[in-house]
Amino acid sequence: MSNPILSWRRVRALCVKETRQIVRDPSSWLIAVVIPLLLLFIFGYGINLDSSKLRVGILLEQRSEAALDFTHTMTGSPYIDATISDNRQELIAKMQAGKIRGLVVIPVDFAEQMERANATAPIQVITDGSEPNTANFVQGYVEGIWQIWQMQRAEDNGQTFEPLIDVQTRYWFNPAAISQHFIIPGAVTIIMTVIGAILTSLVVAREWERGTMEALLSTEITRTELLLCKLIPYYFLGMLAMLLCMLVSVFILGVPYRGSLLILFFISSLFLLSTLGMGLLISTITRNQFNAAQVALNAAFSAVDYAFRLYFSDRQYARGDPRGDVHYSRSLFRQHPAKPVPRREYSSGAGGKRAVFDRFGGDVYRPDVAENQTSAGLGRRACFIAYGR
């Protein structure tokens, strides 16, 4: 009588054997229950991209009534912790030291520009491009305060302030724009990637190290049945970890859930099966638990690192004021100098020119200079770009 390729009776018996090993092995419960919850709490409470109060410097190049009125509006905002000074070097030094997150420059001709008919008085906003999210907050808050001040000034003068463009922003799926509401679902995906790969990366290697693989191969068990018995119990264990993460996210961390549970578990099953299969492949090739765990961790975190690089890509930038637009670009730099070098100060210079100021080396890059003629070989740098008109 020929041996069938797949016997569900043998698969069921092997799954029962594997389940008993999982119950008796505390490391499996540590990986499937304790580590996911620990990572979830770290992501939930340790990472917060919200900024309730920003430290911003205000450079007063003139102390006219209009400039002081706008400064008073800035200092009265609950989201701004302002440092007022007429010394540019002092504020730049504080920005380099990280004591302030941005710099608002009120120019010397601010009042004169405001008094002209149909004229716009420009202000300059300088942000640190090495922290793109914080720079976005600085730019957004200053623009909002500027619009509010213009409306209040128009009402005080008996005029009607009607902006040419009225932008009304709606945040779908996260109306309050709380960072935890989009960090935690991504964190659950990262956790499932790591946990799924580690869970099955040890099972086949463990059989080889304990010498029980030869006993299994001497039986009538087929390769398909062996893979299924190693996959099915850990699939349910991984789905249990995913369910715990979802319950903690909703009921403890306060992330609202809107959608179909059926679709969630269907997509989660496909994703978990792929990570479990990756772990089985690693475990089959290495045949050593220590090596399998190291390879599985590297393979899982490579996806996390790729997602991190996508999040902090060069395409994230902020738009500044109409006279001196401040754009910033942030990328992961591969090398850094042994000692921090002060950044050079932006000067308006000739109109229409563009200069890139190095965040770490202080080097200035001009578009009319060849790319291979830059002075310092620091690889890809975090920098901010200032456009002068």
More confident residue, 176 or 314: 176
Nearest to residue 381, comparing CAs of 345, 340, 352, 353? Answer: 340
| pLDDT tens digits along 356-376 | 333 333 333 333 434 433 333
pLDDT digits (tens, 9 = 90+) for 231-254: 999 999 999 999 999 999 999 988
Place of tokens 């390769």: 223
Residue 351 has pLDDT above 50, yes or no: no
Q: Report the 3 state secondary structure along 277-330.
A: HHHHHHHHHHCCHHHHHHHHHHHHHHHHHHHHHHHCCCCCCCCCCCCCCEEEEC
Q: Which residue has the tokens 């009319």?
A: 368
Query: How confident is the model at residue 273, as a pLDDT?
Result: 92
Q: Pick left, alpha or beta for residue 331 (phi over 0 → left; psi -120 to 50 → alpha; otherwise beta).
A: beta
Q: For residue 81, what are the β-bridge partners?
A: 55
SS3 for 198?
Answer: helix
- Taken in order 227, 233, 236, 241, is the CA torsion positive or negative? negative
pLDDT band at 111 (very low <50, low <70, confident <90, very high): confident
State the average pLDDT over residues 198-220. Answer: 83
Phi/psi of residue 106, each to 5°?
-100, 110
Positive or negative, the Cα torsion across 31, 34, 37, 42? negative
220 is written with which tokens?
A: 């009538």
* Contact call for residues 247 and 40 (beta carbons, < 8 A): no
Is 39 a residue whose pLDDT tops 80? Answer: yes
Compute the CA torsion angle 88, 91, 93, 95 (nearest 10 deg). -130
Q: What is the pLDDT confidence band of residue 2, given thresholds at 50, 70 and 90?
A: low
The radius of gyration computed from the CA coordinates of the chain, to the nearest angstrom, equals: 29
Confidence of residue 382 (pLDDT cuts 50, 70, 90): very low
**What phi and psi values does residue 385 have, to the nearest 5 degrees?**
-110, 130
Tally the residues of the chain.
Answer: 389
